[in-house]
Amino acid sequence: MSDLIVIGFDDENTAFEMRSELAKLQKEYLIDMDDVVVVTKGADGKVKLHQAVNLTAAGAVGGGFWGTLIGMIFLNPLLGAAVGAGAGAISGALTDIGISNDFMKKLGETLKPDSSALFVLVKKATPDKVLAHLEQFRGKGTILQTSLTKDEESHLREALSTAIEQQNG
């Protein structure tokens, strides 16, 4: 079972930076994410979802491949590719895997203008190593919502909280 973690930021860029760092950690097998999305709310109040994977494009590519293959069997690869790409794009656009887009938009509406939130669906992680790599984000984010246990959420809040006392002490 995966855990949802939503972290809010007072600017639009920090969520993208953290998503990039989490992607690096996934390549190092320190975290396994089902989905990771940045939600921004601009100065105009518009909420935008920035998916890590464009499902429409992925569907079009996959559909194009299968369409070409089937078209080659029936001696019309161009028609097969066109039909396959179109069907794949439609399928990709209608697919909502991972975190619900409606949920992210609703939570995004509660953000202040010119801010962002990072939605992460974590399958598994090595928490101590992941948090050590995310040290640069200490004091920059606020936990908005999680599906973690109370102890795990408390530990995450502590790791992301401002370290002013430690720096001054």
- Per-residue model confidence as pLDDT tens digits over 52-106: 764 434 444 455 555 554 555 655 555 555 555 555 545 444 444 578 889 999 9
Segments of the chain assigned E as strands: 3-9, 31-41, 47-51, 115-125, 141-146
- Residue-level pLDDT at 152: 82
CA distance 93 to 36: 17
Judge whether 96 lies within some domain.
no
Q: What is the pTM of this model?
A: 0.69
Give the model confidence (pLDDT) of 16-43 as tens digits: 999 999 999 999 999 998 889 999 999 9
- Inside any domain, residue 76: no
Share of the chain above pLDDT 90, in %: 37
Q: Is residue 85 part of a domain?
A: no
Confidence of residue 161 (pLDDT cuts 50, 70, 90): confident
Q: Are strands 47-51 and 31-41 parallel, antiparallel or unpaired?
A: antiparallel
Give the pLDDT mean for 122-149: 87
Alpha-carbon distance of 39 to 51, in angstroms, equals 9
- Give the residue from 51, 4, 24, 21 showing the smallest Cα distance to 152: 4
Mean pLDDT, the chain, integer: 77
Domain membership of residue 83 (yes or no) is no
Q: How far apart are CA 87 and CA 163, in angstroms?
A: 51
The SS3 of residue 140 is: coil
CATH number at residue 158: 3.30.70
Domain contains 77: no
CA gap 73, 87 in Å, rounded: 18
Q: Is residue 78 part of a domain?
A: no
Domain count, the chain: 1
> 34: which 2 tokens?
């089902």
Q: 46 is in which domain, residue-wise?
A: 3-52+113-168
Residue with tokens 């999680």: 146
